[in-house]
Chain A
Amino acid sequence: MTGEAFVELKDVAKRWNGQLGVENISLEIEQGSFVALLGPSGCGKSTSLRLLAGLELPDEGSIWIDGRDVTTSAASDRNLSMVFQSYALFPHLSVAENVVFGLKVRRVPRAERNEKLGNALKITGLEGLEDRKPSELSGGQRQRVALARAIVAGQKLCLMDEPLSNLDAKLRASVRKDIKKLQRDLGITVVYVTHDQTEAMSMADKVVLMKDGRIQQIGSPDDLYNRPANTFVAEFVGAPPMALLDFHVLDGLQECQTLGLRAEKITIVPFGTGRLSCTVSEAEFLGSETLIGLEHDGVVGLTVLQPGLAMLAEGERIDITFNDEDLHMFNEVGERIDRH
């Protein structure tokens, strides 16, 4: 990794009439890293990616790729590839023709083209399907054709827009690993848009969490999970999400407005000995553990995990306890207060 950022967005903004675009997007991406843009739908993550790709032009700010100002460059001049959510395979072309489409457009000689095609098909495991049309492929195969097209030209930057959202859950997990391996093996820089936090957390070196067109937090998956910058991040990241407690609920912690607490840091204790007495609102058996939802005044999303099958009746009262150092503190506008 070089010190200089490979991709850089500086104060980028894009607005549509009346519609929310993105504001104040500043982001640095190192070469060879895997960056996930994460957020609920409509948060501007796809817009950010399209700005980076050159499919949209920003109203403000500048975009740099590989030391070049590409703010107003055409998409074709940015030396990047892209995987679309719908794969965007050309239905009238065969697999092989789809993969080498860009090489043909850029007039790469036939011999070189064929060599690169063979390579890309081998990497993505598509050998033998060269002559099929996209309509004759399964969803997973189409997805791999899109990947092959993205890597065949050897571009250093690859953008992916929710590439797994059209696959079933089982396939998603395996393709996730494949993409991560591909990125590492080829040493390419990937910017990956997703609304699925599992994807972002499991694949990315760096996660950019967005909401309403603004970046909420940039950091490693560890940062986002263990040091959320604000209450939105705390509630968005993690399954189950972090519980938020009004500070009145607990005594002696008056310097903040809201407290955050992860489910795995909570333990159930005998009645009368806990710090908080709650009512069970639901119990969900997940296989290796049971997720128990709790209710208490001034508390949102409080859950506790119990190993194995440990169903509790709805309405039952239990006591819980936790350590002070596991509490996250947020001020009145929801921003994190770091403890010293």
Chain B
Amino acid sequence: MSKLSHYIESAGAILLAVIWISPLLFAFWAAFHSTSDAVNFNIMSAWTLDNFRTAWDGAPWLRYFMNTFLLVTLVLIGQFFFTTLAGFAFAKLEFPGKNLVFILVLMQLFILPEVLIVENYAMVSRLGLFDTLFGVGMPYMASAFGIFLMRQSFKSVPIELHEAARIEGCGLLGILWRVYVPLAKPTYLAYALVSVSTHWNNFLWPLIVTNSPDTRPLTVGLSIFGAPENGVDISVISAATLMSVAPLLIAFLVFQRQFVQAFLRAGIK
């Protein structure tokens, strides 16, 4: 009986995994075959790299990659900076209205970013940051999730370490930099993963706030490249999609173990 349920569970898991990965597998299949071979699932058909050549020539991909890379880096740096300072303040400092402010920060978690798109758009325009990478990244820098995560991580640092550093002559920022930040490394890694993959894949907001190929990230570039008015060529679009997701996908496959461990450790603490 238990053996049977074991098989059923395994089969279910495999089925789910196949369903999950099939779009990616199809994209992979399509990218390396001509369109007619791809849709006909002609197993014996020849493999080709033509789709990649066509896709690569069809748009300024290098520029898009650069933009996405810069955007993700910029957002991550901004997030580390703001969430570290805010998380530290919420975890270890006393100031009037601390709990109220923290609740306000947490309420941000309940609000979908899409709801704020119009307001953010107006704000970014007012600041003159429309169609700049900084404008794309700015609304995400003071992340409520990040602040909450850092606060929890800093709260778990034993108070004796804080006091020992104080006695050894550290100022408040010195303690933060020399004690809290190094001890929160797993949390930073886990958070970086979430942040990078989120902003690598973010589409709606960059679509709205960018206007030129100079600032467009990969996602927006890809959607414009694949827009129906350019004619739909499944193989070429698949090739372009694979190119876009490749850096993240390869990074995840290579560092899978470390990623999972970082999450586990960040969770335990």
Contact = CB atoms under 8 A, between A and B. Distances in A.
Contacts of B161: 88, 90
A84 interface: yes
B160 interface: yes
A81 B167 contact: yes
A340 interface: no
A101 B170 CA distance: 9
B165 interface: yes
Contacts of B193: none
A84 B158 CA distance: 12
B168 interface: yes
Given A82-B164, A105-B174, A88 B158 contact: yes
Interface centre among B163, B164, B169 (most CB of A within 10 A): B164
Given A86-B160, A105-B174, A92 B183 contact: yes
A85 B158 CA distance: 12
B166 interface: yes
Given A82-B164, A105-B178, A91 B183 contact: yes
A53 B167 contact: yes
If over half of B's interface residues share one DSSP class (helix, strand or loop), that class is named, otherwise mixed; here it is: helix
Interface residues of B, number: 18
Contact of B158 (A53, A55, A86): A86
Interface string A64-106: 0000000000111000111011101011110000000110011
A105 B167 contact: no
Nearest to A92: B182
Nearest to A83: B164
21 contacts: A54-B166, A55-B166, A74-B166, A75-B163, A76-B166, A76-B171, A80-B167, A82-B164, A82-B167, A86-B160, A88-B158, A90-B161, A90-B164, A90-B182, A90-B183, A92-B183, A101-B165, A101-B178, A105-B168, A105-B178, A149-B168
Given A90-B182, A105-B169, 20 more contacts: A54-B167, A55-B163, A55-B166, A74-B166, A75-B163, A75-B167, A76-B168, A80-B167, A81-B168, A82-B163, A84-B160, A85-B160, A88-B163, A90-B161, A90-B164, A90-B183, A102-B168, A105-B170, A105-B178, A149-B168
Report the 4 A-B pairs with minimum CB-CB distance, sorted nearest first.
A102-B168, A88-B164, A88-B160, A76-B169
A101 to B, nearest CB: 5
Interface string B144-165: 0000000000000010110111
B179 interface: yes
Contacts of B164: 82, 84, 88, 90
A158 to B, nearest CB: 11
Interface string A215-238: 000000000000000000000000
B170 A76 contact: yes
Contacts, number: 60
A53 B179 CA distance: 20
B168 A101 contact: yes
Interface centre among B158, B163, B179 (most CB of A within 10 A): B163
Nearest to A155: B167
Nearest to B162: A88
Contacts of B171: 76
Nearest to B182: A92
B154 to A, nearest CB: 14
Interface of A: 53-55, 74-76, 80-82, 84-86, 88, 90-93, 101-102, 105-106, 149
A91 B183 CA distance: 8
A84 B163 contact: yes
Nearest to A146: B164
Interface centre among A53, A55, A93 (most CB of B within 10 A): A55
A241 B47 CA distance: 92
A91 B178 CA distance: 12
A75 B167 CA distance: 5
Contacts of A84: 160, 163-164
Given A55-B163, A84-B163, A90 B169 contact: no
A82 B183 CA distance: 21
B160 A75 contact: no
Contacts of B165: 90, 101, 105
Given A86-B158, A88-B160, A90-B161, A75 B166 contact: yes
B186 to A, nearest CB: 11
B91 to A, nearest CB: 18
A88 B160 CA distance: 5
A313 B170 CA distance: 63
Contacts of B178: 90, 101, 105
